[in-house]
């Protein structure tokens, strides 16, 4: 069973609020990822990290930011939420080797009203 | 750059029928390929992966996939569908181009199983 956790599972928040989506893994994985998932669309990579103090932007432009101060923790922050940020956000982690599969959290479904 | 195409956003089969979900990839270097399953309001779970060993890969729940380099395909099959197989299935590719093996996903195929 994958040991990667996301909180909260569901979040409804007003426009302009600052939010942080939490993601933690207990597997000691170096690589971590944030994907955005909308119905009928592919998972879009928005951020990834190779390890502590490493963060990179993904293919999909996002107004969110991430940090990686500890190996196990990879939070995503939106400074000012907007309705266009409404989506499902999936966090994942993997070992460093290329053939390693990604382990996913259960996701956070964000609704901005 | 790597990419994945999954033909058919929805596939409908009868219980007991063959399941075939298509995945084609684009990669300039030898890829690793993955199939994941996603149940409603859940994260993704690995079904199987191709890692350049055997081209026919067996996974969980009776699923298997065959890597065909000449066709750049990695189609997922199951001989006999079960009601519990109804879910979203996502194909992913990972290679060394553009970075160190960051997975790229297709749009997914929703499998519908009729009694």
What is the spatial distance between Cα A36 and Cα B48, in angstroms, rounded to a whole number? 22
Which residue shows structure tokens 């999954």?
B6
Closest Cα in chain A to B6: A42
Q: Is A2's pLDDT higher than 70?
A: no
CA–CA min distance A24, chain B (Å):
14
Q: CB-based contact (8 Å) between B104 and chain A? A: yes
Residues of A in contact with B44 (CB under 8 A): 90, 92, 102, 104
Which residue shows structure tokens 């079904």?
B47
> Bridge-partner residues for B76, per DSSP?
B21, B65
Q: What are the tens digits of pLDDT across the range B51-70?
A: 887 899 999 999 999 999 99
Q: For chain A, give the percent of residues with pLDDT over 90.
A: 83
Contact B65, B109 (CB under 8 A): no
Q: CB-based contact (8 Å) between B95 and chain A? A: yes
Query: Using omega within 30 degrees of 0 as the cis cutoff, is the peptide bond preceding A47 cis?
Result: no
Closest Cα in chain B to A5: B43
Structure tokens at B67: 């890597």
Residue in A6, A56, A102 closest to B103 by CB: A102
Structure tokens at A31: 């690589």
Phi, psi of A9 (to 5 degrees): -75, -40
Q: What are the tens digits of pLDDT across the range B9-58?
A: 999 999 999 999 999 999 877 889 999 999 987 889 999 999 887 899 99
Return the pLDDT at A76: 97
The angle subtended at Cα B59 by Cα B17 and Cα A88, nearest 5°, is 90
Mutate to test the interface with A, among B8, B102, B107 (most CBs of A within 10 A): B102
What is the spatial distance between Cα B26 and Cα B71, in angstroms, rounded to a whole number? 10
């Amino acid at each position: 069973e994958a040991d990667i956790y996301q909180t909260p599972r569901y979040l409804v928040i007003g426009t302009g609020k600052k939010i942080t989506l939490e993601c933690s893994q207990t597997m000691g994985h170096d690589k971590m990822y944030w994907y955005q998932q909308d119905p009928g669309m592919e998972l879009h990579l928005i951020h990834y990290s190779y390890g502590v103090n490493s963060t990179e932007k993904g293919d999909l432009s996002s107004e969110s930011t991430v940090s990686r101060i500890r190996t196990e923790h990879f939070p995503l922050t939106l400074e000012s939420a907007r309705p266009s940020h409404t989506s499902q956000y999936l966090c994942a982690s993997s070992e460093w080797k290329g053939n390693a599969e990604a382990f996913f959290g259960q996701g956070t479904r964000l609704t901005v009203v | 750059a790597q990419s994945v195409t999954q033909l058919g956003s929805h596939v409908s089969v009868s219980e007991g029928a063959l399941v075939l979900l298509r995945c084609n990839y684009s990669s300039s270097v030898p890829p690793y390929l993955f199939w994941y399953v996603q149940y409603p309001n859940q994260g993704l779970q690995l079904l199987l992966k191709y890692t350049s060993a055997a081209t026919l890969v067996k996974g969980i729940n009776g699923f298997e996939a065959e890597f065909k380099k000449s066709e750049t395909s990695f189609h997922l099959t199951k001989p006999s569908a079960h009601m519990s197989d109804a879910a979203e299935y996502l194909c992913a590719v990972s290679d060394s181009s553009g970075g160190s093996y960051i997975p790229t996903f297709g749009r997914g195929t929703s499998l519908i199983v009729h009694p």
